[in-house]
Amino acid sequence: MSDITASPANPPGHETSWGVKILGWVCVLFGAVILAGGVWLIFLGGSWYYGLAGLGLAATGVLLNRYMMEAIWLYLVVWIGTVVWAWWEVGADWWAEVPRLVAPTVILILVLLCIPALRRHPSKL
Amino acid sequence: MTRFVPLAAAVLLAGTLPLQAQQATTPDTQQPANGAAEDPSPTEDAAVSPPPEEQATEEATADGAIAAAQPPREVGSDWPYWGGDAQATRYSPLDQITPENVGQLEQVFTFHTGDLPKGTAEGKYSPEVTPLKVGDDLLMCSAMNILISVDAATGEENWRFDPGVPNQAIPYGATCRGVSVYSNPDAAEDDACATRVIQGTLDAKLVAVDVETGAPCEDFGENGAVDMWQDIGERVPGWYAVTAPPAIVRGVVVTGAQVKDGQAEDAPSGVIRGYDAVTGELAWAWDLAAPDENRNGPPEGEVYTRGTPNMWTTAVADEELGLVYLPMGNSSVDYYGSNRSDAENEYATSLVALDATTGEEAWHFQTVRHDVWDYDLGSQASLIDYQGTPAVLLPSKQGDIYILNRETGEPLTPVGELTDLPKGEVEPDFISDTQPVSEWHTLRKDPLEEKDMWGFTPIDQLWCRIQFRRANYDGFFTPPSTDKPWIQYPGYNGGSDWGSVAVDTDRGIIIANYNDVPNYNRLVPRDEVTSKPINEMETGESGGANAEGAADPQAGSPYGISVNAGWRNDLTGVPCTRPPYGGIRAIDLETGETLWDRPLGTARRNGPFGIPSFLPFDIGTPNNGGSVVTAGGLVFIAAATDNLFRAINIETGETVWSTVLPAGGQANPITYEVDGRQYVMVSAMGHHFMETPVGDEVIAWALPEN
């Protein structure tokens, strides 16, 4: 999915992978929203999960935008942390797991789909 | 922080109830002649009272003041009372349909009332109607009070009578939960109106028509109607409306009315009135703030005490004891109480037992002290035998189920007391720091926590968590606040609402469906309130389609009220709390223990932004409407917002049959028999507040004929 729009005029490995870029910006955007709300929630005495997860998601987005493979590892950490936290909060209450696990898992799949593109791209530091 | 005190205190409290009752029933010099000879003590009165028919007939013939009591009607082939039998148990002895054969049910007929919203009634329909089945006929009212008789076997219309209720009379929803019938034992069988159908209307008329022809009863009121606006005060359409079928006991038609919530402290009275079932003349009035003074109506030029708690739901009556049991609501201003009178505080959210022939109070039992949460008693109480004692079973919106002695009001099951409840900052002197709870059984769940917040994604869930943390919430009975919103859980929809509970008296099982949703509320300072009370609106201006309390002015009090009913996310419409939002439960009548408990309602019609998800899972939706239980071992119920009508095995709680309704099934079903064939029936007419599609159908199912 990642490089169908790559321009043949560019040298290999240097074309823009729009899939990665879009996902990167989506992660930045949603990560920032969750981070902001999460910080607010922390100040209100609530759960720290959203602040941390928002930060992780935004950082994943930044890394994706730079075609860095670390994005995958970072998001895996975020996702595994999410699963552990969700299980700790509500266990096997599957309706309660819907908001906790569905969207993060969709993001996880999309992030994993970026692996081929990230392999081809040199990282932009 | 709240703790249960072993109930010495409550037992003491209960012990004082009959005392209060006796004090309240001091004989009155203006007592109606027929009650004059009776002892004012309710207990003794009951103990020495002769059998009902005898006594009632005696009274009727002695002075001719009140119509005679009608002979009791049996539930079975008929469904003669709104609650099934006279005890309102919603239990039918019919057993043709069983868990084994229910899967073969087929639709026999569907009847269209033809009453669909027109013009300004659009978006305000919530018919909630449950037909009666008497003899060969189904007797029902439509949303706008058109009385209709339908052949119970074929669904063909016999007659209809339209009392011409205007759209502007719709208070909050166009609702007519049902009708009542009265057979005059003094009339010859072929006399006009020997048996009559009686309903209360949205424009507050009591209407009586002949059961055979639908012709208005000429002997009843004026041309078959009694104007209940009499002695109420300024006539404002929609402010004062009847939505529930009246109780008819000892020849007296007993009714209250819905006073539109949240409008003004200076609102129509919540007076309960008894009318002669034949003549429609006022037999008595019970004005809780002036019970003796206004027993025969207020003095010339005056009105019943304004703004008192009302009864918008259905009463149940004990013909033998001659008592009628009134589930009372609150004063019109639900969420602020400092201006209420002592009498209002005494009777609000109480079950009140009145002598049906005199209107004198026998006892009352209060379920919320100084209610500022709109926990009106919405369920009809049921009359049961509890371990050998005639009892009345009372469900509440808080989810508590009480069982009281029918004669004295004394609790037969343990009543606990919450203490050290928070008093808040708005009116700490008014808020009660103690409240009664049932220790026998409650449908209420544990208090909410942040982790109970929900959504479809982490973002809407996060937003709800922020709202949770920003609100005042100290658990059950968190007092109203204005600086921040407060969370009310359970919300005003219950627990148990008007659908009430069903009691399988043979198996000893209570079937209770319930809601499990909070409200997110805020008291709005007067200078921020933009809405006007209904009496200050131009004709036809009344909004009405809003959820109750969404933006009510509460004129006269320092605050208006903003209620987010069901606490929905402002962006997506998705509830802020996790499912289930409603359930159904079987309770052992002997022990009060839960036999089974399950979510009620699938996710098929629900989803974000109002998009149906078509998910067949039992998510547990909000529900409105009750159930029927049968000797065949089935619970029939619609009620949920998934538009399904289903049969549940009463022993296991499993759904054994379901069918899709053409509109919302927010009504109580019935079951009856014609020529040896058992039918089940429910109306599919939708509900604006439950957001289900509107319809006009009454549908009957039965097993295939051989």
* CA geometry: angle B234, B239, B244, nearest 5 deg: 125
Q: Residues of A with CB below 8 A from B580's CB?
A: 95
Here the ipTM equals 0.91
- The model's confidence at residue A121, banded by pLDDT at 50, 70 and 90, is confident
| Confidence category of residue B31, pLDDT binned at 50, 70, 90 | very low
**Nearest residue in chain B measured CA to CA from A106:** B457
Among A44, A50, A96, the residue with its CB nearest the CB of B458 is: A50
Average pLDDT over residues B547-565: 88
Average pLDDT score over chain B: 90
Query: Between chains, do B459 and A33 touch, taking CB under 8 Å as contact?
Result: yes
pLDDT tens digit sequence for B75-134: 999 999 999 999 999 999 999 999 999 999 999 999 999 999 999 999 999 999 999 999
* pLDDT confidence tier of residue B29, bands split at 50, 70 and 90: very low
Q: What is the pLDDT of residue B251?
A: 97
Verify whether the Cβ–Cβ distance B457 to A95 is below 8 Å.
no
Three-class DSSP labels, B347-383: HCCEEEEEECCCCCEEEEEECCCCCCCCCCCCCCCEE
Mean pLDDT score, B637-660: 97
CB contact under 8 A, B459 and A102: no
Instruction: Say if residue B347's pLDDT is above 90.
Output: yes
CB B344 within 8 A of CB B338: no
Q: How confident is the model at residue B39 (pLDDT cuts 50, 70, 90)?
A: very low
Question: Rounded to the nearest 10 degrees, how much is the dihedral formed by the CA atoms of B230, B236, B242, B247?
Answer: -20
Of B461, B469, B470, the CB nearest to A99: B461
Of B78, B115, B374, B696, which one is the catalytic site residue? B374
- Give the pLDDT confidence score for residue B464 in this predicted structure: 97
What's the gap in Å between the CA of A2 and the closest CA on chain B? 25
The answer, yes or no, to whether residue B461 has pLDDT greater than 50, is yes
Mean of the pLDDT values across residues B675-697? Answer: 97
The mean pLDDT of B623-633, rounded to a whole number, is: 98
Looking at residue A2, what is its pLDDT?
43
Check if A65 contacts B (Cβ < 8 Å): no
Position B572 scores a pLDDT of 86
A122 in contact with chain B, both atoms CB, cutoff 8 A: no
pLDDT band, residue B547 (cuts 50/70/90): low
Mean pLDDT calculated for residue range B247-260: 97
Q: Within an 8 Å CB–CB cutoff, is residue A61 touching chain B?
A: no
Average pLDDT over residues B312-320: 98
Give tens-digit pLDDT for A12-35: 556 788 999 999 999 999 999 999
> Is B229 in CB contact (< 8 Å) with chain A?
no
Nearest chain A residue (CA) to B470: A44
Give the angle subtended at the CA of B283 by the CAs of B277 and B287, to the nearest 5°. Answer: 125
Residues of A in contact with B461 (CB under 8 A): 99-100
Distance to chain A for B284, nearest Cα, Å: 53
pLDDT band at B573 (very low <50, low <70, confident <90, very high): confident
**How confident is the model over A26-78, as pLDDT tens digits?**
999 999 999 999 999 999 999 999 999 999 999 999 999 999 999 999 999 99
B450–A100 CB contact, under 8 Å: no
B548 band by pLDDT with thresholds 50, 70 and 90: low
Instruction: List strand residue ranges (DSSP E) for B162-299, in order.
Output: 180-183, 195-200, 205-210, 225-227, 240-241, 247-249, 252-255, 258-259, 272-276, 282-286
The distance of A102 to chain B (nearest Cα, Å) reads 7
Residue found by looking up tokens 């987010």 in the block: B564
Across the interface, of B456, B465, B579, the residue whose CB is closest to A41 is B465
Q: CA-nearest residue of chain B to A98?
A: B456
Which residue of B446, B448, B457 to mutate against A (max A Cβ within 10 Å)? Answer: B457
Please check whether residue B382 is in contact with residue B392, taking contact to mean a CB–CB distance below 8 angstroms.
yes
pLDDT reading at B236 higher than 70:
yes
| pLDDT at residue number B66 | 87
How far does the CA of residue A66 sit from the closest CA of chain B (Å)?
Answer: 25
Cα-Cα-Cα-Cα dihedral sign, residues B501, B506, B508, B511 = negative
Task: State yes or no: pLDDT of B407 exceeds 80.
Answer: yes
Return the ∠ at Cα B111 (arms to B110 and B114), rounded to 5°: 135
- Nearest chain A residue to B579 by CA distance is A95
The string of pLDDT tens digits covering residues B295-309 is 999 999 999 999 999
CB contacts of A90 in chain B (<8 Å) are: 451, 578
Average pLDDT over every residue of B281-294? 98
The pLDDT tens digits of the residues spanning B133-151 come to: 999 999 999 999 999 999 9
Q: Which of B575, B658, B675 is nearest to B622 (CA)?
A: B575
Calculate mean pLDDT across residues B161-182: 97
Say which of B456, B466, B468 has its CB closest to residue A99.
B456
Band the pLDDT of A8: cuts 50, 70, 90: very low
3-state DSSP assignment of residue B521: strand
User: With an 8 Å Cβ cutoff, are A95 and B619 in contact?
Assistant: yes
Q: Is A48 an interface residue toward B (CB < 8 Å)?
A: no
Higher pLDDT, B34 or B518: B518
Whether A95 and chain B come into contact, CB under 8 Å, resolves to yes
H or E element, residue B587: strand B582-588
Given a cut of 70, is residue B633 above it in pLDDT?
A: yes
Give B-chain residues touching A93 at CB under 8 angstroms.
578
Instruction: Give the pLDDT score at B352.
Output: 98
Q: What is the Cβ-side half-sphere exposure of residue B1, based on CA atoms within 13 angstroms?
A: 13
Is the pLDDT assigned to residue B422 strictly greater than 60? yes
pLDDT band at B706 (very low <50, low <70, confident <90, very high): confident
Question: How far does B466 lie from chain A, in Å, by closest CA?
Answer: 6
Q: The domain B91-702: what is its CATH number?
A: 2.140.10.10
Question: At CA B694, angle to CA B603 and CA B561, rounded to 5?
Answer: 80
Q: In A, which residues are within 8 Å of B459 by CB distance?
A: 30, 33-34, 37
Residue among B598, B662, B606, B605 nearest B627 (CA): B598
Confidence class of residue B52 from pLDDT cuts 50, 70 and 90? very low
pLDDT category of residue B503 using cuts at 50, 70 and 90:
very high
pLDDT higher than threshold 60 for residue B508: yes
Least confident residue range of B17-31, B220-234, B466-480: B17-31
- Compute the nearest-CA separation of B454 from chain A (Å): 7
Distances (CA, A) of B666 to B152, B490, B527, B639: 21, 20, 38, 4
The pLDDT value given to residue A123: 77
Active site residue B374: yes
Q: What is the mean pLDDT of residues B378-390?
A: 98
pLDDT of residue B341: 97
Domain boundaries, chain B: 91-702
pLDDT at B312 over 90: yes
Tokens of B473: 């919430």
Instruction: Write the pLDDT tens digit of every residue in B176-190.
Output: 999 999 999 999 989
For residue B458, give the nearest of A45, A96, A100 by CB distance: A100
Calpha distance B376→B380 (Å, rounded) = 12
Residue in A40, A96, A102 nearest the CB of B454: A96
Q: How confident is the model at residue B541 (pLDDT cuts 50, 70, 90)?
A: low
Q: Is A87 on the interface with B (CB under 8 A)?
A: no
Mean pLDDT of B353-362: 98
Residue B375 and residue B601: Cα distance in Å, rounded? 24
pLDDT of residue B697 exceeding 50, the answer is yes
pLDDT of residue B539: 57
How far is the C-alpha of B649 from the C-alpha of B651, rounded, in Å?
Answer: 5
